[in-house]
Amino acid sequence: MIKIEAIIREEKLEEVKDALADIEVNGISISQVMGHGSQKGYVELVRATEVPVNLIPKIKFEIVVSSEEWEQKTIAAIKHAAFTGEPGDGKIFSYDLRTAIRIRTGESGYDALN
């Protein structure tokens, strides 16, 4: 099993959700997060005063897939849907997951994902 985490722009939420639905990835968790990468935030004008905004609102997807084939398909879908070509498009992380357990039934591993 492989866990994929993707941090994307807020405005790309629906496009990424649709792209994942198109390839039949159904088990996702989505969170609102704050952070910054290379762009380091921006400066906003508030009552004629410049205020630095160091943390930018982002969306975090967490997805668990069963194989490397699904990992590649899922990452490709996210990359395509989230891409703007500008700084701040986000990051995708992927790593091995030791186990998953469905609390209701006690199923574990691959059976817990279905």
Q: How confident is the model at residue 113 (pLDDT cuts 50, 70, 90)?
A: confident
**Secondary structure (3-state) at 3:** strand
Per-residue pLDDT averaged across 48-59, rounded? Answer: 84
Per-residue pLDDT averaged across 68-81, rounded? Answer: 98
* Structure-token pair, residue 114: 């279905």
Against a cut of 0.75, is the pTM above it?
A: yes
- Domain boundaries in the chain? 2-113
Residues 74, 65: Cα–Cα separation, whole Å: 8
Residues 95, 89: Cα–Cα separation, whole Å: 20
Q: Please tell me the least confidently modeled range out of 10-14, 53-57, 68-72, 95-99.
A: 53-57
Residues 77, 25: Cα–Cα separation, whole Å: 10
Instruction: Write the class of the CATH domain 2-113.
Output: alpha beta
Tell me which residue has tokens 């069963």. 66
